[in-house]
């Protein structure tokens, strides 16, 4: 019986840092933790240590995750950036095994208490700025800073335990690529220069930090937008 070749990803270059052996040989999959456009995050358990991790499972046919993996391999050693413990792949998916952050999203914290005191918001912002500044020092722009991409390691929601997650839009700036042109963003947090398509850089993250601070103190976004709004509609606000 002839065996059909496996379907290949359109992204032909190899994923960096891939470990030998199949993901399923080392981990057992458990319940879903979250879902994005190109990926699913699930709980997983090491078959040898029984320790729990979060695994981001990325569809290779829909999204090229090489940049995200490279950035995590280089910079996830910062105390406020989610740690990457392993990378596996098969013909269809890439598996990013990361630390399990048990305290939930900053977004859930804000929704639960409606808004923060200035003391708590200041402590949160200090922690987030620490991780963003570290990325910027190494020429990395995150491009999707928002409360749902910040998770607490501590169930007590201590600001110092917050970690920056989901670097799917992150980009390593290089001498040959100048200003970025691709409009990667979430509507409520996007900087104007991203929408104007005239080129943008690290400063787009600073705008998002300002929006984040506003939300923490007021409990709502300064610019009400929806995912279906056009760039012109968002800019008009």
Active-site annotation, residues: 144, 146, 149, 166, 186
Q: Are 98 and 53 in contact (CB under 8 A)?
A: yes
Structure letter (DSSP) for residue 200: B
Counted residue by residue, the chain has a size of 237
Q: Are 15 and 82 in contact (CB under 8 A)?
A: no
Strands (E), the chain: 27-35, 39-46, 52-59, 84-89, 93-98, 140-141, 150-152, 162-164, 171-172
Interatomic CA distance for residues 237 and 232, integer angstroms = 9
Q: Are 141 and 199 in contact (CB under 8 A)?
A: no
Q: Are 33 and 43 in contact (CB under 8 A)?
A: yes
Burial letters 54-63, b for 16+ CB under 10 A, else e: bbbbbebeeb
Interatomic CA distance for residues 226 and 188, integer angstroms = 7
Q: Are 223 and 191 in contact (CB under 8 A)?
A: no
Question: Is residue 102 annotated as involved in ligand binding?
Answer: no
Q: Are 180 and 74 in contact (CB under 8 A)?
A: no
Binding positions for ATP: 56
Binding positions: 56
């Amino acid at each position: 019986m002839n065996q059909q070749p496996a379907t290949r990803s359109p992204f032909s270059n190899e994923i960096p840092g891939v470990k030998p052996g199949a993901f399923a040989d080392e981990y057992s999959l458990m319940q879903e933790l979250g879902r994005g456009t190109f990926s699913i995050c699930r709980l997983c358990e090491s078959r040898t240590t029984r320790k729990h991790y979060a695994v981001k499972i990325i569809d290779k046919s829909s999204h090229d995750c090489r940049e995200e993996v490279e950035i995590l391999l280089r910079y996830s050693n910062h105390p406020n950036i989610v740690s990457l413990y392993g990378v596996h792949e098969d013909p269809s998916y890439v598996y990013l095994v990361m630390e399990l952050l048990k305290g939930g999203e900053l977004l859930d914290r804000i929704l639960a208490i409606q808004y923060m005191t200035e003391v708590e918001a200041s402590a949160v912002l200090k922690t987030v700025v620490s991780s963003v500044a570290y990325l910027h020092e190494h020429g990395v722009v995150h491009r999707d800073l928002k409360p749902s991409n910040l998770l607490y390691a501590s169930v007590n929601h201590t600001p110092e335990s917050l970690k920056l997650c989901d670097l799917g839009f992150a980009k390593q700036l290089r001498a040959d690529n100048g200003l970025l042109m691709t409009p990667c963003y979430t509507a409520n947090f996007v900087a104007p220069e991203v929408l104007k398509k005239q080129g943008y850089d690290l400063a787009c993250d600073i705008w998002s930090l300002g929006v984040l601070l506003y939300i923490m103190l007021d409990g709502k976004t300064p610019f009400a937008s929806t995912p279906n709004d056009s760039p012109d509609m968002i800019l008009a606000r």
